[in-house]
């Protein structure tokens, strides 16, 4: 159980504690070395993380949102284009599209899982659609899609660093290192991975003011380049935490298995390769269940209380068909505690409390 008696949903401080000595020494090295933006540690971590993903190129970015936007812009997506996005995700999956000047097209997820429904994608395709953003929600693999050659597939893998096996078969992947992610920075950070060297170069230029090899600043695509770099302090922290990643993924998988054993009808299954970024449960009285667990010292999360179709910032999105599965999932989903600081006994306790509340 966590300090203070409460069981928390996630615990970045416990993650840090596992490699604290190496991480703190690495940060001191960066501070004392004075190379605070770019430099060798950023290059090393870009290569190491690309290796983890199994891609030839990695480009450090300021955040997962910046990574996703840069991929889309580097592919030439912009004003006049449509981009399909699942209606269940963090809002950035769709606002990254808006920021390119393109229009998000929000489509439904599957009925038993919050993952993009291939038939909803097929039904939303029009000649305006230039790309589909598939989301490895909670660390899961995305179902394969059949798309015309003119449509790019892009992986929003923000939650998926550490999963084994492929993501969604996209031309590039966008990762986030937000502190609650399975591989966290101690601040914001992101990464683009791809096997396409030209795409990697365009993404890099887009995040660095469009600086060209002759020192002048050029237009990389229709998008105006900006500053979206991964800084050296965050890179040093990621490098120090990376060796511990698979041990923590293994622990998360173990906790998920135990939750599934205790609460099989509530806990959403994951595929085998998942990094178990979130243990999600669904219940029709989600809000009452969360409140009761909270009173019993158990924190839960509610990451997506509304489908993206209901977010005011996305009022201009196209919604070609109703999204009943997304609506149901968002109305019933809660995130159960899952982190390296939890024991088997903690999972047994949380599960027993859920059972008691529901009895
Ligand atoms: C699915 C998804 N996409 C995009 C993002 C955006 O990442 P960031 O917060 O690093 O910008 C997140 C972060 O939570 C996410 O979960």
What is the tens place of the pLDDT at every residue in 178-217? Answer: 999 999 999 999 999 999 999 999 999 999 999 887 889 9
- CATH number assigned to the domain with residue range 244-358, chosen from the 4 options 3.30.390.10, 3.90.1150.10, 3.40.50.2300, 3.40.1350.10: 3.90.1150.10
3-state secondary structure at position 222:
coil
The DSSP code sequence of 272-322 is TT---S-EEEE-TTHHHHHHHHHHTTB--B-S-SS-GGG-GGGTTSB--S-
Q: Tell how far the Cα of 230 is from the centroid of ligand 1, in angstroms.
A: 15
The yes/no answer on whether domain 14-242 falls in CATH 3.40.50.740 is: no
Residue 4: pLDDT band by 50, 70, 90 thresholds?
Answer: low
How does pLDDT run across 43-69, given as a tens digit for each residue? Answer: 999 999 999 999 999 999 999 999 999
Q: State the average pLDDT over residues 161-186.
A: 95
Map out the domains of the chain as residue ranges. 14-242, 244-358
Q: Tell how far the Cα of 136 is from the centroid of ligand 1, in angstroms.
A: 11
Atom of ligand 1 at shortest range from CA of 176: 10
Atom of ligand 1 at shortest range from CA of 137: 1
Helix (H) or strand (E) holding 261: helix 245-262
Residue 243 and residue 335: Cα distance in Å, rounded? 26
| Ligand 1 pocket, residue 300 CB under 6 Å | no
| Ligand 1 pocket, residue 65 CB under 6 Å | yes
Strands 190-194 and 57-61: antiparallel
Which one of 176, 189, 230 would you pick to mutate in the ligand 1 pocket, going by the greatest count of ligand atoms within 8 A of its CB? 176
Residue 300 and residue 345: Cα distance in Å, rounded? 17
Please give the pLDDT value at position 353. 98
């Amino acid at each position: 159980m966590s300090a203070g008696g409460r069981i928390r949903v996630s615990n970045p401080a416990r993650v840090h504690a596992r490699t604290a000595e190496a991480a703190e020494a690495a940060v001191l090295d960066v501070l004392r070395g004075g190379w605070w933006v770019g430099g060798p540690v950023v290059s090393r971590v870009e290569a190491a993380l690309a290796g983890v993903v199994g891609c030839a190129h990695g480009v450090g970015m300021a955040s997962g949102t910046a990574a996703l936007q840069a991929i889309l812009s580097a592919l030439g997506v912009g004003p006049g284009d449509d981009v399909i996005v699942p209606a269940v995700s963090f809002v950035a999956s769709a606002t990254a599209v808006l920021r390119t000047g393109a229009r998000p097209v929000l489509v439904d997820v599957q009925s038993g899982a919050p993952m993009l429904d291939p038939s909803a994608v097929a039904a939303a395709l029009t000649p305006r659609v230039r790309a589909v953003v598939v989301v490895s929600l909670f660390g899961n693999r995305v179902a394969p899609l059949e798309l015309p050659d003119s449509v790019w597939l892009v992986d929003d893998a923000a939650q998926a660093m550490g999963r084994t096996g492929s993501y969604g078969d996209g031309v590039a992947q966008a990762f986030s290192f937000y502190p609650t992610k399975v591989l966290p920075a101690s601040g914001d950070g992101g990464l683009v991975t791809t096997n396409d060297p030209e795409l990697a170069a365009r993404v890099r230029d887009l995040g660095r003011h469009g600086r060209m090899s002759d020192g002048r600043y050029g237009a990389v695509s229709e998008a105006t380049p900006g500053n979206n770099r991964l800084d050296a302090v965050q890179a040093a922290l990621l490098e120090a935490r990376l060796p511990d990643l698979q041990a923590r993924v293994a622990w998360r998988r173990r906790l998920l298995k135990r939750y599934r054993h205790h609460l099989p009808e509530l806990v959403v299954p994951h595929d085998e390769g998942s990094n178990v970024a979130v243990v999600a449960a669904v219940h029709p009285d989600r809000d009452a269940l969360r409140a009761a667990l909270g009173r019993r010292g158990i924190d839960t999360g509610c990451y997506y209380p509304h489908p993206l179709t209901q977010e005011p910032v996305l009022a201009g999105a196209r919604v070609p068909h109703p999204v009943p599965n997304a609506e149901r999932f968002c109305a019933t989903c809660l995130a159960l505690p899952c982190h390296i600081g939890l024991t088997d006994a903690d999972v047994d306790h949380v599960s027993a409390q859920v059972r008691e509340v529901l009895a």
